[in-house]
Structure 1
Amino acid sequence: MPGNVRPVTDERDALLAFLEQQRDVLRIAAYGLTEEQARATPTASSLSVGGLIKHVTATERGWMDTVLQRTQPVTQEQLDKYGDDFLLGADETLAEIIADSRRAAEETEEIIRGIPDLGRPVPVPDAPWNPKDIEAWSVRWVLLHLIEEIARHAGHADIIRESVDGATAFELMAGAEDWPETPWIKPWQPAAVENS
């Protein structure tokens, strides 16, 4: 993934390309992390890089359920568990979370490619955080909202990652994609392990 989105051919292609770019930069924040580092919460928040990837994946699937009208009203049990998707379980690995993120992206792409009209109404689900005075959004609105949601959390992940080991977004991107070193950027590499 280069630092910018590739040229796009039309609105649908643009929305999907920008959505994928945001997913990629979020995943890049996890590049080279250990399992412990993926769970680390080194900032004032309780967020971790791995937890953010897990949350974004669940959120994306939830929005695709909404687009396909497979959602049910939010239950009290779901409200009580709000935020659980920000945490990696003891049995979850970073590799599994990233692989699931990729599967969700493929699912979204397939769903969106199968919808002829991005203006198709998407009924607003009954949830405490949704407006009560709007009956429907559009598929286009949902995609723009997903881009915004993932971009917000990609920014969180950048800050958390820099707090974990000092790595910054473009250094990580350069390391993950094997860019050549230049005067303005040195690709990230794991710190050398010293022998005792």
Structure 2
Amino acid sequence: MADTSTSGGERADILDLLHKHRELFLVTVRGLTDDQARQRPTVSELTLGGLVKHVSRTEQSWTRFIVAGPPEGPEIDWARIDWSNPPPEVREFQDSFRVLEDETLAGLLAEYDAVAAATDALVREVDLDSSQPLPKAPWHEPGSRWTARRVFLHIAVETAQHAGHADIIRESIDGQKSMG
């Protein structure tokens, strides 16, 4: 049975890392309206609401990977996509960065909270040394595997990276900075 204590040790460190990066990320959307969450004040296509949605879905997909391995699905040749008419799985990926008409920032934040709680529960339960083969992709070395531990660290890194994107977007909207 896995150690489920969080009073110290590796699991507590992983949870602390995840919590700190999530909090820094969420600072960027505090007090925003739905309209502000959809704004694109920079040359990027990214919006704050879209980043919340993307970070949430990415975290959820990586925790599914820990439990079930790489997803089944069509291989996508990203270099040959007709961007004027992308296939459905590419449109779905693009929509993971967008706040759709029927979505609200509050709803996206509630979804993110639920995903974070599920991830935290998995950190407490899973064998951190269990591993899965990475999906075939040009950015993964063929035949490589990641442990659950490595995936949790990757989730923290992804969250931190997108917190930086979000900080720039928020500062462009109203001057608010996460730090400094």
Q: Which bracket does the TM-score occupy, shorter chain normalised?
A: 0.7 to 0.9
Greater fraction helix: 2
Gaps of 5+ in 2: 1-6, 77-87
Q: Determine if the alignment matches structure 1 residue 95 to structure 2 residue 106.
A: yes
Letter in 2 for 1:164: I
* Matched residue, 1:39: 38
* Aligned mates of 2:99, 2:114 — CA distance in 1: 18
5+ residue gaps, structure 1, are 1-7, 172-196
Please list, as runs of the form range in 1=range in 2, the aligned pairs for 1:1-196 lying within 5 A after superposition.
Answer: 9-69=8-68, 71-75=70-74, 76=76, 77-115=88-126, 117-134=127-144, 136-170=145-179
Identify which range, 70-79 or 60-69, moves more after superposition.
70-79
The structure, 1 or 2, with the larger RCO (C-alpha pairs under 8 Å, 6+ apart) is 2
Number of matched residues? 162
1:26 Cα deviation from its structure 2 partner = 1.2
Q: CA deviation at 1:11?
A: 1.1
Deviations 1:154-177 (A, max 9, x none): 010000000000111148xxxxxx
- Structure 2 residue matching 1:122: 3-state secondary structure: strand
* Partner secondary structure for residue 137 of structure 1: strand
Specify the code of the residue in structure 2 equivalent to 1:23: R
Counterpart-to-counterpart distance in 2, 1:104 and 1:41: 25
**Residue identity opposite 2:151 in structure 1:** V
